[in-house]
Structure 1
Amino acid sequence: MRKDHRPFWLKRLHRTVMRWRSRHFLEPQFDAVGPYMDAVYPQYVTVHGPNISIGRCATLRSARAYPITLTTWTSADREGRIDIGDHVLISPGTRILSSDHVRIGSNTMIAGEVYISDSDWHDVYDRTSEQDAHSPITLEENVWLGYGVKICKGVTIGRNSVVGAGSVVAKSLPANVIAVGNPARVVRTLDPDRPLRLRSELYADPPALEAEMDKLESYFLRGNSFFGWLRALVAPTRRD
């Protein structure tokens, strides 16, 4: 359907159930998790392995067809680690895998179907072993990864930098640049005279933000009724 026919109270109930599900099933899977996590459909976020942490006001946008997967791998000599900062956005279909260490700085935005892996998982000559085919990844604060970006082992992406959709980052990128392509290369430098607004500003007062969002949703869903929602589910028309 092109419209949300739910009455406001039903949408709030759905959000309450999702938050309970997140607290009860998802949050205990992390070694550490900050307050005010917002996980849409937390049943489609999977966390495998130890040493996975996430900061405050994280936004996880998963979907049935595009789950979010965070995975660490344990070997005889080390354990992988994933550390995600505050106010980070992770979009549907993102996969983050670590056999070494993946660090994601605060205020980072990760678009859909991004793949981040700090290991090749198999040696070039010994296909039965990882050997030394691993190296840590660091995304510094306020990085923005476009749709379908792939980040390879050993990469550091500098503060505020943007990586265009579909790019493959095989070598480190400096701060304050825009990079695109396969392999990704710098095509522009950010204007140092223009201020950057961070996600942390949006989430400075989470309860106040939620109250404001409730007001907006109540306005946009005004006039919706329970029976109108049921009718749209079983007998939709072009107006729906």
Structure 2
Amino acid sequence: MRKEHRPHWAKRLHRLYQRAWVKHFLEPQFDSVGPYLDAGHPKYVSLYGPNISIGRCATLRTTPAYPITLTVWTSADREGRIDMGDYVLISPGTRILSSDNVTIGSNTMIAGEVYISDSDWHDVYDRTSEQGAHKPIAVEENVWLGYGVKVCKGVTIGKNSVIGAGSVVAKSIPANVIAVGNPARVVRELDPDRAIKKREDLYADPDALMAEMQQLERYFLRNNSLFSWLRALVAPSRND
């Protein structure tokens, strides 16, 4: 559908169902989880393994075709970890895999189909073994990873930096820069005199924000009715 035909009460009920699903099924899968976890289509967020944590006011966006997958590998000598801070945004199709330690700083924004892995998973010569092909990854505070970015083992991405869409980060990137390419290279420094507004500013009062969003939804859906919704489901037109 090109438009939202549900009346506000129906959309509100669906949102309440999703929040209940998050509380009952998704949150217990994390070792620790902050308040106000917002997960759209939470059934398509998959966690595998222990030691996965996420902070307050995190936003997870998925679709049936592009799930979010967080995977920790355990072996005889170690367990991986995925530690995500507050106000993190993770978009559809993102995969984070850890055999060592992946840290995602607060306010970080991760666009769709990003792949982050702290291991090569197989040795070049002994392909039955991981050997020493693992090093921790640190994505520092307020980083923005563009669509389709790949982050390789042993990398640190400095705070506030932006990684352009499709880039492969094979070496560490300093703070306060824009980097693009394969391998990613710095192309510009951020202006130190300009303030950066972070996601935490949006969530300064989460309850007030949610109330405002509900009010906006009520306004935009004010002309929708049960009849028009059912009609669009069974007999859609080009205007739907």
Normalising TM by the smaller chain, what interval? over 0.9
Residue 200 of structure 1 pairs with residue 175 of structure 2: no
Per-residue CA shift, 1:118-165, capped at 9, x if unaligned? Answer: 000001111000010000000000000000000000000000000000
**Cα distance between partner residues in 2 of 1:204 and 1:25:** 27
**Cα distance between partner residues in 2 of 1:112 and 1:230:** 32
What's the counterpart of residue 154 of structure 2? 154
Partner SS state of residue 182, structure 1: coil
Q: Could you tell me how far 1:89 is from its partner in structure 2?
A: 0.2
What's the counterpart of residue 56 of structure 2? 56
What's the counterpart of residue 119 of structure 1? 119
**Cα distance between partner residues in 2 of 1:136 and 1:121:** 13
Letter in 2 for 1:187: V
Per-residue CA shift, 1:74-98, capped at 9, x if unaligned? Answer: 0110000000000000000000000
**Cα distance between partner residues in 1 of 2:206 and 2:230:** 32
Per-residue CA shift, 1:155-202, capped at 9, x if unaligned? Answer: 000000000000000000000000000000000000111110000010
* Count of paired positions: 240
TM-score w.r.t. structure 1 length? Answer: 0.99
**Cα distance between partner residues in 2 of 1:137 and 1:194:** 28
**Cα distance between partner residues in 1 of 2:12 and 2:164:** 35
What's the counterpart of residue 74 of structure 2? 74
Letter in 2 for 1:235: A
Q: Could you tell me how far 1:106 is from its partner in structure 2?
A: 0.1
What's the counterpart of residue 25 of structure 1? 25
Q: Could you tell me how far 1:67 is from its partner in structure 2?
A: 0.3
**Cα distance between partner residues in 1 of 2:11 and 2:177:** 40
**Cα distance between partner residues in 1 of 2:10 and 2:160:** 39
Residue 13 of structure 1 pairs with residue 13 of structure 2: yes
What does 1:131-170 correspond to in 2, within 5 Å?
A: 131-170=131-170
**Cα distance between partner residues in 2 of 1:11 and 1:178:** 39
Per-residue CA shift, 1:190-216, capped at 9, x if unaligned? Answer: 011111000001001100000000111
**CA-atom RMSD in angstroms:** 0.4
**Cα distance between partner residues in 2 of 1:226 and 1:115:** 41
What's the counterpart of residue 110 of structure 2? 110
Partner SS state of residue 119, structure 1: coil
**Cα distance between partner residues in 2 of 1:89 and 1:126:** 37
**Cα distance between partner residues in 1 of 2:188 and 2:82:** 30
Letter in 2 for 1:179: A
Q: Could you tell me how far 1:238 is from its partner in structure 2?
A: 1.1
Partner SS state of residue 76, structure 2: coil
**Cα distance between partner residues in 2 of 1:236 and 1:10:** 19
Partner SS state of residue 127, structure 1: coil
Q: Could you tell me how far 1:239 is from its partner in structure 2?
A: 1.0
What's the counterpart of residue 235 of structure 2? 235
**Cα distance between partner residues in 2 of 1:196 and 1:219:** 31
**Cα distance between partner residues in 1 of 2:81 and 2:65:** 26
Kindly, what percent of the aligned residue pairs are identical?
Answer: 79
**Cα distance between partner residues in 1 of 2:125 and 2:59:** 40
Q: Could you tell me how far 1:46 is from its partner in structure 2?
A: 0.2
What does 1:177-192 correspond to in 2, within 5 Å?
A: 177-192=177-192
Point out where structure 1 has 5 or more consecutive residues left out of the alignment.
Answer: none
Partner SS state of residue 212, structure 1: helix
**Cα distance between partner residues in 1 of 2:185 and 2:225:** 52
Point out where structure 2 has 5 or more consecutive residues left out of the alignment.
Answer: none
**Cα distance between partner residues in 2 of 1:235 and 1:112:** 33
What's the counterpart of residue 219 of structure 2? 219
